[in-house]
């Protein structure tokens, strides 16, 4: 499998910070892989995602990544003055896509995420789950080589989270996109990803290959992979 | 710091002042004129010397025309304030160094009493025989900082993730300003504008009755408008004209509030981040 993302000895220290957020980190993400970064708060997970997205520049080391990377943020991060349709169209308009093709692309993404009927609604009129779906549709609309998800389910109730997990797996299997997601829930990481990377204090603590068939939701909390990662997490 | 008070003020004015129901909004339109009439009645009852008398000659249509002239000056000054405030606010928060440098400068500029510079402004504009320019410039200076500080406050509360979205999806340069910055600060722009225009009305009397700031000036050099009509009426004890002019001004402000600002406040709710 070709790596679409490659970190070689990457470090990141924010200005004015004593400790580096990311230290000499090396790992790769294969094409079409679903990787989940887990770890304690402040461990550097989100910084890794920002480095991949180009939102931050590494202090040292080399990052190999494709140019077209899209990201979905916590709580959707939608523009409140734009409808669901216009939010999804945001990136496409910057690419000057013809209006007819744009409408087709946006509607296809909205349909895939099950929110086509809300295309004319503003974010304030959408539920948390619907906003998150719009955020993911916006990221998928630009047809990225890599989809980054920053704790996309952290603000949602368990039922909505479970529904979105199922939909995300379906979208991933259908689109074959490379996905890198940050989560603070080990169960979530194991139920979604085919590789889980435990990040602690800016370095990779351990990497776990999850070889379970989908769907994995049932009793995932007691699975030995989850128990093992949890043990490492709290070590 | 004075600017932080302004930001605070601007961001809260919206929440506190937006009347949601139509009846409440209508109430605000009649409340001002009613209060003025009641106040005048009380004053005239207590001090008959201030009551209207019959030797007054300015017609209602002249006063209404004066009010429109005044509104025109305020509108032009407001448009100039907007044009200058947006780049000033953007410049001030474009990086930490400029912010540390410019915000205290803005603070000092805002603190300078506008009347202190008025004689100088008049002298400059007299060179070009453009007294309307002097009035508009003074109104502009009085309005500008309200909008600048409101915008700075608005720019500072744009969520970080929203900025990241703009970066990830390729919003750059003018597109970034048009599609993110301007809509994001729209609520603060509206509240700042309300404060700015209110400040404009506050200073209009001085801005139009500018002869007292001119070396050897006479009332003949005043600009025609509701402000100068008020000053002239007060100076000549034309109490009826004075009362009518005050009422015209209050009614006009109430209508602008009802048909412009309240509508914009309502519309701006859609632009607020949760």
Per-residue pLDDT tens, chain A, 235 aa: give them. 689 999 999 999 998 888 899 999 999 999 999 999 999 888 999 999 999 999 999 999 999 999 999 999 988 999 999 999 999 999 999 999 999 999 999 999 999 999 999 999 999 999 999 999 999 999 999 999 999 999 998 878 888 888 889 999 999 999 999 999 999 888 899 889 999 999 999 999 999 998 888 877 666 666 777 777 777 777 7
B205 has a pLDDT exceeding 70: yes
**Which of B162, B168, B183 is nearest residue A71 as measured by Cβ atoms?**
B168
Inspect the interface and report whether the beta carbons of A80 and B270 lie closer than 8 Å: yes
Q: Is there a domain that residue A104 lies in?
A: no
**Chain B residues within an 8 Å CB radius of A54:** 167-168
Q: How many angstroms separate the Cα of B129 from the Cα of each of A174, B122, B208, B212?
A: 74, 10, 15, 17
Query: Which tens digits make up the pLDDT trace of B142-164?
Result: 999 999 999 999 999 999 999 99
Task: Identify the domain containing residue B245 by its residue range.
Answer: 2-47+56-271
The pLDDT assigned to B54 comes to 57
**Chain A residues within an 8 Å CB radius of B161:** 73-75, 77
Give the Cα separation of B239 and B44 in Å (integer).
10
The pLDDT assigned to A228 comes to 75
Q: How many residues does chain B have?
A: 274
Domain of residue A12, CATH code: 3.40.50.300
The pLDDT assigned to A216 comes to 75
Q: Is there a domain that residue A136 lies in?
A: no
> Model pTM?
0.84
Give the Cα separation of B242 and B240 in Å (integer).
5
Give the Cα separation of A65 and A63 in Å (integer).
6
Using a 10 angstrom Cβ sphere, with 0-12 exposed, 13-18 middle and 19 or more buried, the burial of residue B170 is middle
Which of A204, A176, A180, A184 has the alpha carbon at shortest distance from A193? A180
Characterise B116 by phi-psi region: left (phi > 0), alpha (psi -120 to 50), beta (else): alpha
B220 has a pLDDT exceeding 90: no
**Alpha helices, DSSP H only, in chain A?**
45-53, 84-94, 99-112, 128-141, 158-175, 186-192, 224-233
Inspect the interface and report whether the beta carbons of B186 and A81 lie closer than 8 Å: yes
Q: Is there a domain that residue A20 lies in?
A: yes
Q: Is there a domain that residue A129 lies in?
A: no
Q: Is there a domain that residue A158 lies in?
A: no
Q: Is there a domain that residue A81 lies in?
A: no
Taking residues B89-107, report their average pLDDT.
93
Domain of residue B249, CATH code: 1.10.3720.10
Question: B150-161: b or e for each residue (b if 16 or more CB lie within 10 Å)?
Answer: bbbbbbeebeeb
Q: Is there a domain that residue A87 lies in?
A: no
Nearest CA-CA distance, residue B86 and chain A, Å: 19
Q: Is B34 an interface residue toward A (CB < 8 Å)?
A: no
Query: Which tens digits make up the pLDDT trace of B40-74?
Result: 778 878 877 776 665 666 788 888 999 999 999 99
The pLDDT assigned to B27 comes to 74
The pLDDT assigned to A75 comes to 85
The pLDDT assigned to B234 comes to 85
B272 has a pLDDT exceeding 50: yes
Q: Which pair of structure tokens corresponds to residue B182?
A: 């301007």
In terms of CA atoms, which chain A residue is nearest residue B268? Answer: A81
**Angle CA(A73)–CA(A145)–CA(A28) in degrees, nearest 5?**
90
Which of B153, B170, B222 has the alpha carbon at shortest distance from B6? B153
- Which residues of A lie inside 8 Å of B (Cβ-Cβ)? 50, 53-55, 69-71, 73-75, 77, 79-81, 90-91, 94-95, 122, 124, 138-139, 142
Q: How does the average pLDDT of chain B come out, rounded?
A: 85
* Confidence tier at B16 by pLDDT (50, 70, 90): very low
**Which of A55, A90, A94 is nearest residue B164 as measured by Cβ atoms?**
A55
Task: Identify the domain containing residue A195 by its residue range.
Answer: 1-66+184-235
Q: Is there a domain that residue A31 lies in?
A: yes
Please state the domain count of chain B.
1
Please state the domain count of chain A.
1
Least confident of A181-190, A224-233, B8-17, B174-183: B8-17
**Chain B residues within an 8 Å CB radius of A74:** 161
**Chain B residues within an 8 Å CB radius of A125:** none
Give the Cα separation of A122 and A172 in Å (integer).
26
CB of A208 within 8 A of CB of A195? yes
* Confidence tier at B11 by pLDDT (50, 70, 90): very low
In terms of CA atoms, which chain B residue is nearest residue A128? Answer: B274
Q: Which pair of structure tokens corresponds to residue A181?
A: 């997601």
């Amino acid at each position: 499998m070709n790596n679409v993302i490659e970190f070689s000895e990457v470090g990141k220290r924010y200005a004015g910070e004593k400790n580096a957020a990311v230290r000499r980190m090396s790992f790769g993400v294969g094409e079409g892989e679903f990787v989940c970064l887990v770890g304690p708060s402040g461990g550097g997970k989100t910084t890794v995602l920002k480095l991949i997205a180009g939102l931050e520049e590494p202090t040292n080391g080399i990052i190999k990544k494709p140019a077209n990377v899209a990201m979905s943020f916590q709580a959707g991060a939608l523009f409140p003055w734009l409808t669901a349709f216009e939010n999804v169209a945001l990136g496409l308009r910057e690419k000057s896509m013809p209006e007819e093709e744009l409408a087709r692309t946006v509607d296809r993404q909205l349909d895939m995420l099950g929110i086509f009927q809300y295309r004319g609604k503003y974010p304030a009129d959408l539920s948390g789950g619907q906003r998150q779906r719009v955020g993911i549709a916006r990221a998928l609309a630009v047809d990225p080589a890599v989809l980054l998800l920053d704790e996309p389910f952290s603000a949602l109730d368990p039922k909505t989270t479970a529904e979105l997990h199922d939909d995300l797996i379906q979208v991933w299997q259908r689109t074959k996109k490379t996905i890198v997601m940050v989560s603070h829930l080990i169960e979530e990481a194991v139920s979604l990803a085919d590789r889980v990377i435990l990040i602690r204090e800016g370095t990779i603590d351990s990497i776990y290959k999850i070889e379970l068939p989908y769907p994995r939701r049932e009793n995932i909390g007691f699975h030995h992979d989850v128990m093992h990662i949890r043990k490492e997490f709290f070590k | 710091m004075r600017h932080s008070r302004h930001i605070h003020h601007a961001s809260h004015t919206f929440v506190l002042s937006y009347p949601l129901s139509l009846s409440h909004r209508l109430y605000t339109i009649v409340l001002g004129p009613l209060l003025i009439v009641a106040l005048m009645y009380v004053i005239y009852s207590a001090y008959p010397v201030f009551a209207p008398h019959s030797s007054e000659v300015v017609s209602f249509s002249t006063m209404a025309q004066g009010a429109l002239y005044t509104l025109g000056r305020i509108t032009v000054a407001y448009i100039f304030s907007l044009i200058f405030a947006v780049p000033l606010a953007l410049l001030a928060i474009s990086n930490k160094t400029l912010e540390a440098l410019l915000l205290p400068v803005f603070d000092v500029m805002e603190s300078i009493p506008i009347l202190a510079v008025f004689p100088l402004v008049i002298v400059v504009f007299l060179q070009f025989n453009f007294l309307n320019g002097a009035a508009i410039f003074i109104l502009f200076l009085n309005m500008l900082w309200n909008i600048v500080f409101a915008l700075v406050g608005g720019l500072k509360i744009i969520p970080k993730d929203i900025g990241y979205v703009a970066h990830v999806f390729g919003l750059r340069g003018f597109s970034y300003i048009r599609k993110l910055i301007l809509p994001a600060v729209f609520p603060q722009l509206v509240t700042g504008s309300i404060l700015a225009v209110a400040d404009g009305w506050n200073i209009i009397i001085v801005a139009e009755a500018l002869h007292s700031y001119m070396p050897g000036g006479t009332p003949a050099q005043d600009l025609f408008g509701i402000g100068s009509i008020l000053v002239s009426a007060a100076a000549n004890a034309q109490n009826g004209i004075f009362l009518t002019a005050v009422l015209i001004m209050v009614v006009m402000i109430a209508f602008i509030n009802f048909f412009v600002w309240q509508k914009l406040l309502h519309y701006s709710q859609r632009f607020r981040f949760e």
